[in-house]
Structure 1
Amino acid sequence: MKMFEIDQKLVKVRSVTNVPEFKGEKREHACSVKFEFQTDNTVLDVLEPGLRKAFYEKDNGKSQANDEGQGELSLPRQDLDLTQRKLPLVNMPLKLKKEMAGYRLVYHCGATEASQIKLAEVALSDFSVDLQPGGTVVVMFSTYSKPGADVQGRIDHMAQTEIEISLIAPEEKQPELKLESAKGSRKKTAAEKAGGSEDPFAGSDLAQDDTRIEA
């Protein structure tokens, strides 16, 4: 399953909230940043499979009434197959019970990599989606991280501005395969236990070349 990611996209920083944390006598500073961006409705397939088909269908050219009883103009995107919103009387935005952890967040603050702010172990939560006619969706979510004091001030000043960010999902851990050699995985034969000879009677009285004479 594809994971939610953002690749150097312009987003709006709706709010920045400092979250002090206390662990015994030690005090740590965390930061909650709420983002908003606009994209096409295929993002719903990533956030909650089945949601796009539940709320969108192929455009039939007819306008539908919104929650105020007025017709909505549908300007369908040509790159999408489902652009007309179904259930137009459902209030927006929709809240999603979705939380993700282990992300990397990059603020692209300048033209060089040295000017970027890079944060690790970022948690995502408080997802909501505003489904609009024509196949456009406004996505809102919050990030939780622990930036250092050297960059916290820069993040504080981003509130109510637009900035490019990237969100990189954590890598999926591949299951470790335990490979055993063929020799180590099968049982040894009697010949191998006797010293590796192909003769199954090696080391026994039957292997001697003498003749037994009964008295």
Structure 2
Amino acid sequence: MIRELRSAAELRAACGDDDLVMWAAQSSGSGGRAWVLGDAVVAGAPAISRRDRLAVAGGASSAVELVRHALAELGPSYRPFGDVDLVAAVTAKLDGLEESGRFSWMSLSGGVPEAGGGVGWLGGDAEVAALLAAAAPDSYAVPGVAGVRRWAGLRDGGELAAVAADAWSAPTVGFLAGVATRPSLRGRGLAERVCRWVSRELVAAHGRAALMVDDDNAAAITVYERIGYRRRRVMASHPIGGG
């Protein structure tokens, strides 16, 4: 029998405190909802990291029924995502879904070594927007987007050199996004310093941190692993024809 989970404590118990699931549920005020059936759990919330997302965890047979139920409740804009084999199996069993892509979820708990000086939260968005336009025009996190809370940065000779955002963080999972370095200053480890500093802040505030990264971005994955993030390969799907 499918049961809706009404609290963070219920969800935590059902999913074993899985960081991806806990992040996708977000807070009750965000419209997040979650359900359990047997050994499977789904949790979703609207407009997190620019998508209506539905995290999926557990056994495939129960997950198929849960995803079908959740999409009927939440609507077809929600994109199931989770471990590659699980979401591939769910997508194959449900009519109307196709693969969106594969990428990595990376998470971090525990202490993070000091980042060094010079990094701090920024007071304005104009410089951040200009840097992102030049260095990371496809970034999901940009100033002014709902859920993008604050930006940290590092200066070089007075010029904003590298940035990262606290964006779409959940109560028990801080989320790192919007990482960028001015093109002329790349190769000096500046983004790593900012990411290390923001990661420490997120872990201190939320208990752990997470991020998403493309599998072909080997340089970024190396940096995140050096900070202490653990990699988990995931897949997302979407309605056929939904893009």
Q: With structure 1 as the length reference, what TM-score do the two structures score?
A: 0.21
Rg: which structure is higher? 1
Q: Which has the higher helix share?
A: 2
Q: With structure 2 as the length reference, what TM-score do the two structures score?
A: 0.19
